[in-house]
Amino acid sequence: RTMGISPGWGWLLLLPVCQALTVPREVSGRAGERLSLRCWYPRGYENYNKYWCQGHSRVSCHKVVETAGQEAPQQHGRVSIQDNHIFCVVLLTMEDLSEEDAGSYWCGIERTGSDLMEPVTVRVVPG
C-alpha cells in the first residue's frame, strides 16, 4: 500500500502550480447545473484580491465576485469564489447555470498598475 496523494488531488501534479496566471481557454456546462472553473496564479499573489470579471474587454468587464484577499469563500448571488493560498488556485462556482451566463470572463488579480488578467469563454449547453 503506497502512501500517495489523497484521491481527488492527483490532478494538481499535472499543473504549473504557483507559476503563471492560467485559466482554461473555454469551459462548458449544462443549463440548470453547476459549473466550476479554476484559475491558477503565480506565487507571491496569495494575499491579493482575486476576482472574476464578465465582459468581452478587460477594461469594460464588470466584477462578478471577488475574494478581498481572503481564503474564505465569498458569494454573490449564484456565483461564489474561493482562493487556495497553498496551491495558488482560485475556484469559481456558478450554481443553476443559465444561458445568460455564457460569454467571456476574466480571472483577475488586483495590483498596482494594470491588473493581471486572463480570459476564458463559458459556454452553456441547453439542459
Here the CATH number for the domain that contains residue 40 is 2.60.40.10
pLDDT above 90: residue 16 = no
Of 40, 70, 44, 51, the closest CA to residue 115 belongs to: 51
pLDDT above 60: residue 11 = no
β-sheet with 62-66: strand ranges across: 26-30, 116-125, 103-109, 50-54, 62-66
- The answer to whether residue 84 sits within a structural domain is yes
Return left, alpha or beta for 92; rule: phi > 0 is left, psi -120 to 50 is alpha, else beta. beta
pLDDT band at 19 (very low <50, low <70, confident <90, very high): confident
Q: Dihedral, CA atoms, 10, 13, 19, 22, nearest 10 degrees?
A: -50
Which residue type, as a one-letter code, is found at position 43?
R
- The answer to whether residue 65 sits within a structural domain is yes
- How many structural domains are present in the chain? 1
pLDDT score, position 13: 61
- The answer to whether residue 76 sits within a structural domain is yes
Average pLDDT over residues 73-83: 97
- The answer to whether residue 3 sits within a structural domain is no
pLDDT band at 8 (very low <50, low <70, confident <90, very high): low
Higher pLDDT among residues 2 and 116, named by residue: 116
- The answer to whether residue 107 sits within a structural domain is yes
**Grid coordinates given for 28:** 462548458
What is the extent of the structural domain holding 42? 26-125
**Grid coordinates given for 30:** 449544462
- The answer to whether residue 5 sits within a structural domain is no
